[in-house]
Structure 1
């Protein structure tokens, strides 16, 4: 792959064609305003073999909210994120995104192709290409998937890296970065597709607490400054109590508690949530 050239006033006709292609394939605009329901799941079920990991899950997320999802390993948290992201299909149930039915009757609907670019997912393992520098890691998907021009992808990469505090590392290779820096790059890469929803699966579990706090602060700022909704699977109760709009507690494949942080942590009557919080706080 050739290096991306700096943007300049003399854009070629080919570049303009790529930009038009990017617009054509970017999907429809999202109409949900801050506070509107962005994602709605009803009756989601998923089994792996004989083990049912999601049992008739009902779940809503509002545009611009941070939802922290907690619970023991294997309780269904990550499976829900992967279902919303389109990485796994439920066995049953229905999902809507911005009012469009995107999963129904055990399959994705045509509407999913119109909204999937608005959903970004970030993993614990970063999933960065080790042989590419940061810039190429960020620009590969928009150029291949959306037909974005070199100049437009470069400008978008600069903006995304600035938003996560990584502007000085645009030419670095992943091996030259710390774990926290790699996770910031992974967030920036997700931002390249201009998502309305970021799904984050244990993205700070391998980081030292101060570094994890910095990464989580990036997500909080994206919510406040860009209006991006965030669903985050984490064991960081401090972040959940301070930054979350909702706390969702999974227990044995079901949502046992869906409440404000104050209600979830200070006023819950759910015995399993009480035990879980006490176990991870200390």
Structure 2
């Protein structure tokens, strides 16, 4: 489904200017510490519109902290974040421009975070109704479109407890799509799923990239997906980006010993 065929109100955000292949989000010199331990150490990171970036590394290496910083859920201690040419984090605080672009950023978590007492329709429409001023009819139409995009159109009235883990994860992705993001951040969204189900969820992301042109940043241990679907592979080690390369370079032509050890551990 193309972006030009969508209906319903447009989120009240700033003008979006990036084109496919253009740099959408950049981080420069990001630092973050928790409890005296430095998690991010002067991290520089770029993503282009229409790319899938797979972020790999050991637990605690900084992967999820980077995603949460880009999503506005964690403020770095220092550094800069730029989104579509706007400075959204400036060396210690969010800028006013963040509020112009935050609707372009969606995040999906491992734990789904769906309201169990609400059906799928209510889960998807809650935020657009409250934050974007959608009418009920407009929100329902957009929900139907988002569910169709993830292959869940027939579950509009289902409750999360009636769905499998893979189906709940697809609904969580559809909920993020309700805000029409240009950047979708996914944190270990397949780690609790069986491999065939995880493959189906990851295929949804690849299709969204191809059909919708959004940028996807995905923290995962699924090296098969990374090798086949990613445009870039970013390897975190001890709070720093140790490798930033194409999948072929990262997996087949890289001499970084820490990456080699990590790949051996996950049995790629």
TM-score range, shorter chain: over 0.9
Is the partner of 2:56 in helix, strand or coil?
A: strand
Match of 2:262 in 1: 276
Match of 1:171 in 2: 157
TM-score (norm. length: structure 1): 0.91
Match of 1:12 in 2: none
CA drift of 1:49 comes to: 1.6
Asked if residue 98 in structure 1 is aligned to residue 84 in structure 2, the reply is yes
Equivalent residue runs for 1:43-54 within 5 Å: 43-54=29-40
**Structure 1 unaligned spans of 5+:** 1-18
Asked if residue 111 in structure 1 is aligned to residue 97 in structure 2, the reply is yes
TM-score (norm. length: structure 2): 0.96
CA drift of 1:79 comes to: 0.1
Is the partner of 2:54 in helix, strand or coil?
A: strand
Asked if residue 64 in structure 1 is aligned to residue 50 in structure 2, the reply is yes
After the TM superposition, list the runs of 4 or more consecutive aligned residues in structure 1 that deviate by more than 6 angstroms: none
Equivalent residue runs for 1:140-159 within 5 Å: 140-159=126-145
Offset from partner CA, 1:36-63 (integer Å, 9 cap, x none): 0000000000000210000000000000
Q: How many residues align structurally?
A: 261
Is the partner of 1:242 in helix, strand or coil?
A: helix
Offset from partner CA, 1:22-78 (integer Å, 9 cap, x none): 54x520232111110000000000000210000000000000100000000000000
| Distance in 2 of aligned mates of 1:280 and 1:40 | 29
2:74 aligned residue (88, 92, 114): 88
Asked if residue 128 in structure 1 is aligned to residue 114 in structure 2, the reply is yes
Match of 1:243 in 2: 229
Quick check: which has more Rg, 1 or 2?
Answer: 1
Is the partner of 2:266 in helix, strand or coil?
A: helix
| Distance in 2 of aligned mates of 1:256 and 1:66 | 18
CA drift of 1:224 comes to: 0.2
| Distance in 1 of aligned mates of 2:229 and 2:79 | 30
| Distance in 1 of aligned mates of 2:14 and 2:86 | 11
| Distance in 2 of aligned mates of 1:141 and 1:45 | 31
CA drift of 1:278 comes to: 1.4
How well do the aligned residues superpose, as a CA RMSD in angstroms?
Answer: 0.9
Asked if residue 203 in structure 1 is aligned to residue 189 in structure 2, the reply is yes
Match of 1:224 in 2: 210
CA drift of 1:105 comes to: 2.8
**Structure 2 unaligned spans of 5+:** 1-7
